[in-house]
Amino acid sequence: MAGRIPQSFLDDLLERLDIVEVIDRRVKLKKSGKNYTARCPFHDEKTPSFSVNPDKQFYYCFGCGAGGNAYGFVMDYENVDFPQAVESLAGTVGLEVPREQSAGGSPTPERNNKPLYDLMEQVARFYQHQLRKHPQAGRVVDYLKQRGLTGVIARDFDLGFAPPGWDNLLRQFGADEAGRKLLLEAGMLVQNEAGKVYDRFRDRVMFPIRDQRGRVIAFGGRVLGDDKPKYLNSPETAIFHKGRELYGLYQARHNNRKLERVLVVEGYMDVIALAQHDISYATATLGTATSKNHLERIFRLCPEVVFCFDGDEAGRKAAFRALEAALPTLEDGRQARFLFLPEGEDPDTAVRGAGTEGFQRLLEGAQPLETFLFEALSEGIDGDSLEGRARLSKRVMPYLRQLPEGVFRQLMFQDLARRTGLELDSLMQLEAPPPPATAAPAEPATESAGEPAPEPRQRSTSEPQPRGYSNLAQAALALLLHKPAVANLARPESLANLEGDDIRLLSDMLQLLQRRPESTTAMLLGHWYGTPEGDLLNRLAGQERLIPTEGIEHQFSDTLLTLSHLPRQSALAAQVDKLKATNYAEMSESEKQRLRELLQEKQKLNAERGKRNQ
């Protein structure tokens, strides 16, 4: 029966279920302290890192980052969609799943993506069949052989062939209006302004793109001739969001019992060629720059990412953008490195030329992030002069401030102190707002000897706020997940002047909890299940060992108070920085007085913050 499942029923069902029983029926759990543990069913591991919390009714794997409530576990474990998971769990407690009716008495439609997944799997099989049987398939086979690929690797990555012609898929799967509509929703058909409908992919080698559960969600296609564009990807759909997906990640997880690193390259053929040479941990972004979402997904699976780029100017610019995306994700224990290939080479040609061992030697020589960062930003600067060292400090500081708190961040500041000759304490006191995550690199390679490099562009009011906002917002979210009742201590209007994804999520959660104060941790995880926000909440919920057993109310109030003061602190820092840039001897008396007042106000705010932290 169609129709939306009422939220009240979903909440009531969660209250009736015991997640320990739900999981133990599928994966044998063992009591460990107040929690239960097992070897994770979602990735291969020798020692248990999968933990189930009976009090808060959620699970979390410290190995692969999988987490959620009972609904999420059944969906991922049994590979079913949300309504099926609810039906299954409701049956175990003898409940029938109700459906909401619209005002006119007809069922309220709900978003059910299973038909899209089913269709995409059928399309993938259709393309694979065409590669074997179509009269023109020999052209594709010849092309793949020319690129050095074997039939085995083509099978492993489910390569296919979209034959020439405008209506192959349309005739195969769009015989009726419902079929054509589904093909359009999946992005496999195009409808032009005149209303004509035709196949999106024609006369191309086809690369199925799979999500983390192995479902086909999109395709990439490469032309066999000289047509443009050379590569064509599926558009964004209800099941495909290119900013969150990585080509080859499913195969990398499937082929490695334990991922030690992930290699990020630029193309489908690079991923497949590397896999054929037993380098089975390569992935590729899907026509977008590497994002924070990509990196968080990678770091949930392994501790290291290596970016591989051409060594030319375009490659180094792309690498710097990847570096900017990586900085906020580099918690202690995570590592990012950069491999620059000779101009004219790509991973495909490099691994075919050097072989597996030769390419692995290249990987071992990849630059650590810190080396690339300091080399890129030091370009054109005379490190032996006082002026040059001052410029280096001013250029590097905004990037270092994006790093999460921890040992690595401290070591990076120590390295900058060594390079500039400043005392570490003096360096840490300097104020410098970080560049936005999307800022272009400082173009160090084009700087001439007598010209200053462009400083990172200033943040507009619509851009994300400094890194500290995100860290504090995540701390508040973690406290809410572990004790939702503290939401009644918050005033959502205190966040009105703050921006950023984590701030928006915190505000949304506060509003939800104030509307429904009975919400539990499991309900909150279910509310954002299957979204990037849900991935973050799962990770924060899994950090229960870092949450104090007492004083959560006080810590939550202090965190929100600190957040509310950050805009004023940032504004003060900017004003002080502007006045400090002026030669003190050339200041007017009013400017000197203003500087003294700003420093006093800043000192007062810091003192208040220090008292709260005592």
pTM for the model stands at 0.59
Residue 573: its pLDDT value, please?
A: 59
Half-sphere exposure of 516 (CA within 13 A, CB side): 12
Spatial CA neighbour of 117 closest among 221, 238, 268: 238
Answer whether residue 103 is part of any domain: no
Predicted local confidence at residue 273, as pLDDT: 94
Instruction: Choose one of 463, 490, 516: the last residue of a domain.
Output: 463
Averaged over 325-353, what is the pLDDT?
91
Q: How many helices (H) and strands (E) does the chain have?
A: 24, 16
The last residue of a domain, from among 443, 463, 483: 463
Question: The CATH number of the domain where 340 resides is what?
Answer: 3.40.1360.10
Q: DSSP letters of 203-215?
A: SEEEEEEE-TTS-
Which comes out higher in pLDDT, residue 435 or 224? 224
Q: Using CB atoms within 10 Å of the CB of residue 43, give its burial: 0 to 12 exposed, 13 to 18 middle, 19+ buried.
A: buried
362-382 mean pLDDT = 92
In a domain, 593, yes or no: yes
Residue 443: which pLDDT band, with cuts at 50, 70 and 90?
very low
Lowest mean pLDDT among 150-159, 292-301, 332-341, 590-599: 590-599
Structural domain ending residue among the three candidates 463, 498, 530: 463
Give the pLDDT of residue 585. Answer: 60
**CATH code, domain carrying 217:** 3.90.980.10
pLDDT of residue 599: 67
pLDDT, tens digit, 9 for 90 and up, residues 412-426: 988 988 888 776 666
Residue 486 or 281, more confident: 281
Please give the mean pLDDT across all residues of the chain: 81
pLDDT higher at 472 or 71: 71
Q: In the chain, pLDDT over 90 holds for what percent of residues?
A: 33
Quickly state the pLDDT bin for 433 (edges 50, 70, 90): very low
Position 234 scores a pLDDT of: 94
Within a domain: residue 137? yes
Residue identified by tokens 């390419």 is: 359
Residues 76 and 139 in one domain: no
Q: How far is Cα 132 from Cα 504, in angstroms, rounded to an integer? A: 50
Compute φ and ψ for 276, nearest 5 degrees.
-65, -25
pLDDT value of residue 586 = 61
Structural domain tally of the chain?
Answer: 4
Residue range of the domain that includes 397: 242-463
What confidence tier does 107 reach under pLDDT thresholds 50, 70, 90? very low
Q: pLDDT value at position 170?
A: 93
| Best mean pLDDT range from 1-15, 215-229, 412-426, 558-572 | 215-229
497 and 577 inside one domain: yes
- Looking at the predicted structure, is the pLDDT value of residue 8 above 50? yes
* Residue 585 shares a structural domain with residue 486: yes
Q: What is the CATH number of the domain that holds 65?
A: 3.90.580.10
Residues 354 and 473 in one domain: no
Taking the C-alpha atoms of residue 492 and residue 560, their distance in angstroms, rounded to an integer, is 9
Which of 513, 527, 539 is CA-nearest to residue 82? 527
Using alpha carbons, select from 173, 226, 167 the residue that is nearest to residue 201: 167
Query: Is the pLDDT reported for residue 342 higher than 70?
Result: yes
Query: Do 253 and 391 have their domain in common?
Result: yes
Residue with the larger pLDDT of the pair 439 and 472: 472
- Condensed to tens digits (0 to 9), the pLDDT of residues 48-64 reads 889 998 888 889 888 87
**pLDDT for 374:** 93
In a domain, 296, yes or no: yes
pLDDT of residue 465: 36
Q: Residue 149's pLDDT is what?
A: 92
> Do 278 and 401 lie in a common domain?
yes
- pLDDT for 193-241, tens place per residue? 888 999 999 999 999 999 877 889 999 999 987 778 889 999 999 889 8
Please check whether residue 269 lies inside any domain of the structure. Answer: yes
Q: Is residue 107 part of a domain?
A: no
